[in-house]
Structure formats: structure tokens, C-alpha cells
Chains A and B, each alone.
Chain A
């Protein structure tokens, strides 16, 4: 449902982006003239756009679309699972990390009551998906996946 009010989240985000733009200009002082001209120009343009956005948002209320509701705990759990997946695939090994993280994301996404049948079906799905894609990428496309602890 939309609600007409001041776009506070947009104002906060614009201020953050303006600060990032300022930092981008500040850090470009060590670059060569050729290397700094583009990021400086873009950062300056971003600061101006953010200032205009804040001014517009303060002057007139707008229709704000409410973000999609839902379980914050599951979202956080998924974020942790994805980060762990990306960070551990090199030290632990691609296949082992993928098996564990695939299972974790499956548990996070499941809303049905766990039964032995459901567990067997999802385990079979996991083996099929992981096996097929890993096989195609590893053996057909010759992608050298990290072996990690499985060396």
C-alpha cells in the first residue's frame, strides 16, 4: 500500500551518497589528472543530484511504496549463508561448501513441515542440481574449482 509522506529514507540515502561522493573526490587527490577527471566529475554530479533530491523531498511529500514485508530472521540467515558460501569456497573447497550451503539455504527457504519423504525428495533435488551443474561446469566447460580441504 502506498502512503503519501516525506521520503525520509530517500533523504537519508541521498545524504549518505553525497558523503560517498565527497570521499570519492577526496581520495582522488592522489590520482593522476587523467585518472581523476572522470571519477571527480561523476562524484560531483552525484553530490549535486543528491542535494536536489533532498531539496525536492523536503519541499513536497511523495507516495512511498512500502517495502515487501516478511521474515527478517530468514533474510539475515540467507545473507549469512550466501556470505559463508562465497568466503569458504576457496579454503574449504567448492563442492563441500556448496553441499552445506545448498542444504542451509534449502532449510531457510522451506515453510512446509519436515517429513522423512520431504527430506528425501529435497535431498534428491540437491544431488541432481549440484551434480548436474557441477558436472557441466567442471567437466564440460573445464572450470577449475577450488578443492580446498578435499585435496
Chain B
């Protein structure tokens, strides 16, 4: 174990306080729809400028990891992902909450987040340099296919047919093309609206596409928002630990997936949680329960997205390339502190790096008690608030959250219009998740596609560039497997008599 002496340095009272404070602040900010992990880190980063570099990093790592976990609250209790990483958590979290197991879902999310966070931090501690070299093998074409893989996964996994999901993904990608093109600088699909020149903001769209349809259905009936089938007396920790122990394989696999996807710059928690969810469902004996409140779904997504935190720090620290958007903010903070990231960081400034990594372990472990306590009160509050107070409160959060992203009223208008559009599309059987992911991945997909197209044309064939690179072939194989697996599975199992399941 490298530098155990740094563990002792990380355990100072100040660092412990910063870790607890960071986790609390991050969890609360991440829980509010519209306030992402990136915003949480960006807003609080100036507070760290006067600190020792290692302490500053511990505080920022704690805020980041807390915010990713906090995103699960709104996903479970309001069917609205607090952060894009929690999109897949809505699939089973909200059905669990609706049937009266919201408290169990929150506790499972906490356990999974801690497990994933620890695995990600362990990879960062032990395998950072070789993993960073792997990330460099991904070129523009691979990033394009990775985005397509993410969209294929969400189409296959979200409610409704795969075709509808793929069409939804295309809608999201077309929406992401609105505004000024990143490659070429064209003004596209803006009509006469100057407010669309900057394109559609992903966070405002995320808030609208998820929150507004929920509000529209909440006001339509007098039924209570969530069922409460039992007295909320504890955390249901023992029950959750039993479920998590039985699903240890799922937790380990999802955490490793989260870490590996996290080291790919730009991919982030939204893809890792989907990949982990898809794998969990594929290997599960209860695959048909996924999407209906299956605890393994929450364990997969929450462990994966928190493992992305450690994974994302690998290219950030070793290569100076931010793995995820919050890493970009943290990279900026590192430069302010006078730390130069790069391959030599682990040898030349080992004290700072290892103290930070142990601090990340510390913050992740502290997330268990902190997260359980905050989660319990979040659950109790949401179930006990009458609908007449909940609806305007959530509506105000959507308005203030979408405005605060860039202090722009146009983005609030976009949020409402997209939300109303999502509600109408929902009536036609098209869910929000593929559209949101299309919007999120649109930039990665387009820049990868256009760069690959240019490189391919320069070499003589764009098609060959997209189809013949070894890593591309591997990702394409996964895409085909995702699309065809349900079909193959049903064909293989068709001649057999109905199983006992």
C-alpha cells in the first residue's frame, strides 16, 4: 500500500471536518434538481483557495462525492435525477418509493455509493498510471461509438420499446445540434430566436424533461405522492445490508465499470451508471423485475456513478485531462494551488496526492452515516409534505435552478417548454431518459463523429475509419449485443416450456 504515512496526515481534525462538511454540502446541493456536482464544486471552490493543497483537495473530493450521492434523493423520491449521473436511478428508485420502500431505496443508494466510491478510490490509489494510458487509446471515433453505446443502452433499458428509445435518443441528439455548432461554427436550427444561439442548456433541459411531467401528473389527481406502508422508525439498514451482501457481485462489477468508464475523459457518471445497470439486468435471474423497483438496479447505478469519482481523478491527476466536468473545476483549483498535474505528479508531489486519495477514502466512508441521516430526513420530509405544498415548492426549485445555471431567463423558458413537450411525448409512449441522454452526449458524439469523418476522409474512407479500429469494433460489438441480446434470449428460450420464474 503506497504511503501509509499519508493516511495519518489525512486524519487531522481539520481534514476530518472538511470531509464531513464537504459531504454534507455536496449531498444537499446534489439533491436539489438543477444543482449538479459540477455546480457544487464550482460554487464552493473559492473557499479552498486559502487552504493547504491536500486539505483543499479533500474538501473538493468530499463535495464531489457527496453531490453524486445526493442526486439519488430526487431520483428516488421525485422521479427527477438530482444530477445527470442519477438518471438510471429513477428506473427502480421511484417505483420502490411509489410502493412504499423509498426509505429502503435511499439506504441502498447510500451503501452502493459508499462501496462504489471506495472501489474508485482504490483504483486511483493503486492503478492510476496504467489506467490513464488505457484512456489515451480512445480517439474521436471511439468517443462517438461510446456515445452511441450510451444511447443504445438507455433505449434498451428505459421503459417502452427499444425503437421508441432510439427515436428519443435521435431527438435528443438533434436538440443538442441547435445553436452554434462547435465544429464549423454554423448557426443551426435557431429560427429567429436569438436566445437559442447558445443551444439548449443540458441542465435546464434535464430539469424540465424530468420535473415538469411529474408536476403535471401530481396535480391531476388527489392521490398522495408516495405511499407510506410502515412507520419510518429507522434507516432499514439491516435489510439494506442483507440485500447489498447478496448482491456483492453486482456491486463489485458495477463499481469496476464505473471506475473504468470514469477514466475516459468526458464520459462520466451518466454513461457508467447505464452500462452498470444494463449489465446488472443482463446477468440477473430477475431481469423482468428491473424497471419495476428492483433493488439491484439502484445498487448498480449508484455504485457505478460514485466509482466514477475515483475513476475521473485518474486522467485528471496523471494526464492533466479532466475525466468528468467537476474534475475540470478541481483541475483549475489545483493550478491555483500551484500543483502541476502530469505523469510525474505521483512521484514529485506524492505527499499531496496520497494525502488527497486517503482523504477521498475518508470522505466516502463518512458518507455512510452522513448520507443515512440526511436521506432519512429527506424521505420523511417528502412523504409528509402535502401535495399542495410539494408541487409549488418543486416548481419553484425548477424555476430557480434553471435560472441559476447561467443567470438566464431564456433557459428557464426552455426548461418549461421542453418539460411540456416531454409530458406530451410521454402520452405518446416516449420517455424522457433517451432524449436527455441524447442531449448530454450530443456534443461528445458530434465532435467524435466530425473528427472521425475528417480523419477518415483524409485517409481515403470515412466508413473504414469508423468500422475498423480495434476499440471501435469492441464497442460496436457491445452495441449490437445490447440491441440483439433480448431478441436472442427470447429466441433461445422460446422452445422451452414456461419456466418456474
Residues of A that sit less than 8 Å from B by CB: 7, 9-10, 12-14, 17, 20-21, 24, 27-28, 31-39, 41-43, 45-46, 49-50, 52-53, 56, 62, 64-65, 67-72, 74-75, 77-79, 81-83, 85-87, 89-90, 94, 98, 101-103, 105-106, 108-112, 122, 125-126, 129-130, 133-134, 137, 141, 143-146
Q: How far is the CB of B173 from chain A (nearest CB, A)?
A: 5
Verify B419–A34 contact, CB threshold 8 A. no
Asked if A82 meets B395 with Cβ closer than 8 Å, knowing A38-B450, A46-B171, A49-B170, the reply is yes
Cα(A129)–Cα(B388), bound, Å: 13
B6 adjacent to chain A (CB < 8 Å): no
Please pick, from A45, A105, A144, the residue contacting B395 in the complex, using a CB distance under 8 A.
A105
Q: How far is the CB of A93 from chain B (nearest CB, A)?
A: 11
Q: Which residues of A contact B412 (CB under 8 A)?
A: 85-86, 89
B135 adjacent to chain A (CB < 8 Å): no
Q: Which residues of A contact B407 (CB under 8 A)?
A: 143-144
B449 adjacent to chain A (CB < 8 Å): yes
Verify B186–A35 contact, CB threshold 8 A. yes
Verify A78–B216 contact, CB threshold 8 A. yes
Q: How far is the CB of A55 from chain B (nearest CB, A)?
A: 10
Residues of B that sit less than 8 Å from A by CB: 43, 161, 163-164, 166-167, 170-171, 173-174, 177, 181, 183-186, 188-189, 212, 215-222, 386-393, 395-397, 399-400, 403-404, 407, 409, 412-413, 415-417, 419-420, 423, 425-430, 445-446, 449-450, 453-454
Verify A35–B220 contact, CB threshold 8 A. no
Asked if A50 meets B167 with Cβ closer than 8 Å, knowing A31-B184, A79-B420, the reply is yes
Q: Which residues of A contact B173 (CB under 8 A)?
A: 42
Asked if A32 meets B184 with Cβ closer than 8 Å, knowing A42-B170, A82-B416, the reply is yes
Q: Please name the residue on chain A nearest to B216 by beta carbon.
A: A75
Verify A36–B186 contact, CB threshold 8 A. yes
Cα(A36)–Cα(B392), bound, Å: 42
Please pick, from B163, B186, B423, B425, the residue contacting A56 in the complex, using a CB distance under 8 A.
B163
Asked if A65 meets B429 with Cβ closer than 8 Å, knowing A32-B186, A71-B219, A134-B400, the reply is yes
Asked if A89 meets B449 with Cβ closer than 8 Å, knowing A46-B174, A53-B164, A67-B426, the reply is no
